A and B are shown apart, each in its own frame.
Chain A
Amino acid sequence: MYVAVKGGEKAIDNAHALMREQRRGDTAIAELSVEQIKQQLPLAVDRVMNEGSVYDPELAALALKQASGDSVEAIFLLRAYRTTLPRFGYSEPVDTEQMQIERRISGTFKDLPGGQVLGSTYDYTHRLLDFALLAEGDSALSEPEQASNNMGVLQSDLSANNVGVPQFPSEARTETKTSDKLEACPRVLELLNQEGLIEQSRADGEEDITPRDLTRQPVNYPAERAVRLQNLIRGDEGFLLSLSYASMRGYGDSHPFAGEMRSGLVSVELVPEELGFPIEIGEVMLTECEMVNQFHGSKDQPPQFTRGYGIAMGRAERKAMSVALVERALRAEELGEAVNYPTQDQEFVLSHTDCVSANGFVSHLKLPHYVDFQSELEMIRRLRKAASEASAQPSEDKADTAGEKI
């Protein structure tokens, strides 16, 4: 006799208990602390902060621990917490030109005011497994590099600009505040701007507009640029990476140069209502990327370079670059370019960037669909019955034989 499927409540409790046990792993091995995750898996933490849209390395590390290292799950945890937080106010726009540069590179100019700073990077490492790490010792591969490390400041023959850069001892950690003596680092793209070779980032006399907050208001299409950027910055890194890859491989009209990539600490200012002037409330680590793209010009405008912009929290270059590339591809319509590919299509891109939504909707297939499936069963039986009755008649029964071939 059929026993109704009961016991959902108990099953859920047990499933969660089992999950907690699995997450902890072998209890003979020391438990991972949130602080360890924050210190030693900082890039994973940064990704969770970015897509979770909260600048809080500790909570991001906690989410990673709770999610057994699954970044999408961790992002979800952080988002669901974020949504309940009250809004005290909005900060002043951060000035990334005043960034305390930790790393700064340009793919367009060999040397430039402020110099290039290689900083810390996986670029140029040989991807060889470092078995010293497996033996839980210090990394063997990194030692020779450390000896000659001057905070990674690129020494180029031309770089008279770097003369004033203090030489940090090799034990200098990344937390060390870069000295105030560093000369100003104007944005590379602004240098092009002086010649009018690149589009203005804003029209003459254009005021700052407070961007709409897409976590509070739904997106309406076509979405303005500030909303598109918000959406992309919260978007799934893998999806954006692949889209930007596609846009460069021919499914898009993208011929980019990495004008500049910079990361470092930026101070955040807020104007409290009772004071009426800005006060600094803290610093955030940001990675900013500006891409230079070609633009063939139009009837009204001579050819000039255009910009794609990306910014991300923490050290997240892949993310910042992907955002900049996709952001530029999505400007096709406003620049009067043909919209031929999904990468240029706002609705296609912006509706599908969010990993929390994507994961939710895909995984909802695990929920019961008994009723819908039953409806389909009933329908398909009826259709097949009708088909077999029709083919049972002495006339041509092509449908039936075709069915058997399959």
Chain B
Amino acid sequence: MSSQLSSQLNKPATQTAGAEGYNFAYLDEQSKRMLRRAMLKAVAIPGYQVPFGGREMPLPHGWGTGGMQLTATVIGEADTLKVIDQGADDTTNAVSIRRFFAKTAGVETTEHTADASLIQTRHRIPERQLRNDQILIYQVPIPEPLRFIEPRETETRKMHALREYGAMQVKLYEDVARFGHIATSYDYPVMVNDRYMMDPSPIPKFDNPKMNQMPALQLFGAGFEKRIYAVPPYTKVMSLDFDDYPFEVQSWEESCSICGSDHSFLDEVIMDDAGNKMFVCSDTDYCRERVEQGFTAENPEGQQGLTPEPNQSQQERKTQDDTKAEEMAP
């Protein structure tokens, strides 16, 4: 794990590539060193929010400056970068960030999840299972899971230090009391390594199970809140729930109109004035890959002889239950 990070960290920065008048990947080396130290601390204490001297980036706060600072710091010349927003490579902000690094670091970019060594994301985790040699970098608007329960930083730091998370359980319980189940659909809080409560960034809770025991390193950057946190590879990440109201993810009755997938996160697209709609995969690369493999809406089982790629969310969804069962066993 740490060898993976340090191999990223030890890549020599170069002054040659990149935009004129700026260092490789925009940030100066002193700033990168400061960020690396914060990152190492974050990896060493999974889920703990490490304050860092956030730099101004040439994109507005709230548009991915935290993620960009992390990407700028770990990226090396040999990296291949993928940037997604809402699961798609072609949303305008993803395009803008990808171009920024193509310009300032001169690195290869890709839309293929499998080909990327670094993936910067906003609001989604790719459907395809990530590997140990990949790093997933999340853009985080508000890093503090307790922020809307307790707005004061001085208080929330204390709550984390004392592992005093009852207030969040109460909030979830109130949901159950009012609606019959937990009514948080994204930004769903998790416990990391049984110690820190962590905000997974506003990913849909559909993606939460993918974080658990993920082979890839997960880094989280909140730019204007000046916080970094991390989940090292193969770390336990459990979504909060109750024994009698277990965590569950969204499901759709429909399947993707393009690739026929019935197990990926679907975006709803309104087709006409009458409100007719269709559903398509939010992860555009996953959808494309399935189409290439011969899956279609008419033929969701795929062509003869082809088996679907192992789907991470289905596998990992079991893991939360499995992990629980293991804990209950002794």
Contact = CB atoms under 8 A, between A and B. Distances in A.
Nearest to B57: A80
Given A371-B124, A378-B185, A347 B179 contact: no
6 contacts: A218-B53, A218-B54, A371-B204, A374-B267, A374-B268, A375-B205
B28 A371 contact: no
Contacts of A379: 183, 185, 250
Nearest to B63: A364
A281 B292 CA distance: 65
B250 to A, nearest CB: 5
Interface string B263-304: 001111101000000101010100000000000000000000
Interface of A: 2, 4-9, 11-12, 76, 79-80, 82-84, 86, 215-222, 347, 351, 354, 356-357, 359-364, 367-372, 374-379, 383, 386
Contacts of A215: 53, 55-56
B60 A83 contact: no
A379 B151 CA distance: 26
Given A221-B154, A354-B224, A368 B250 contact: no
B284 A4 contact: yes
Contact of A8 (B94, B153, B257, B268): B94
A218 B51 contact: yes
Interface string B55-71: 11111111101000000
B201 to A, nearest CB: 10
B250 A375 contact: yes
Contacts of B252: 378
Interface in B222-270: 224, 226-227, 250, 252, 257-258, 265-269
Given A12-B92, A347-B153, A372 B226 contact: no
Nearest to B65: A360
B312 interface: no
Contact of B180 (A12, A84, A386): A386
Secondary structure at the B interface, as helix, strand, loop or mixed, is loop
A383 B55 CA distance: 42
B154 A370 contact: no
B60 A356 contact: yes
B185 A376 contact: yes
Contacts, number: 150
B56 A370 contact: no
Interface string B118-161: 00001110000000000000000100000000011110000000
Contacts of A364: 60-63, 141
Contact of A367 (B85, B154, B226): B85
Nearest to A9: B95
B52 interface: yes
B271 A76 contact: no
Contacts of B63: 360, 363-364, 367
Interface in B167-182: 179-180
Contact of A371 (B123, B141, B227): B123
Most chain A beta-carbon neighbours within 10 Å: one of B28, B62, B202: B62
Given A80-B56, A347-B154, A374-B282, A368 B85 contact: yes
B24 interface: no
Given A84-B28, A360-B60, A369-B86, 16 more contacts: A2-B271, A5-B91, A12-B95, A12-B96, A76-B60, A79-B56, A215-B55, A222-B154, A363-B62, A367-B63, A369-B202, A370-B267, A370-B282, A375-B204, A375-B205, A377-B268
A361 B124 contact: no
Contacts of B123: 369, 371-372
Nearest to A356: B61
B22 A84 contact: yes
B153 A221 contact: yes
A6 B95 CA distance: 11
Nearest to B266: A374
Given A347-B151, A379-B185, A8 B267 contact: no
A8 to B, nearest CB: 4
A83 B56 contact: yes
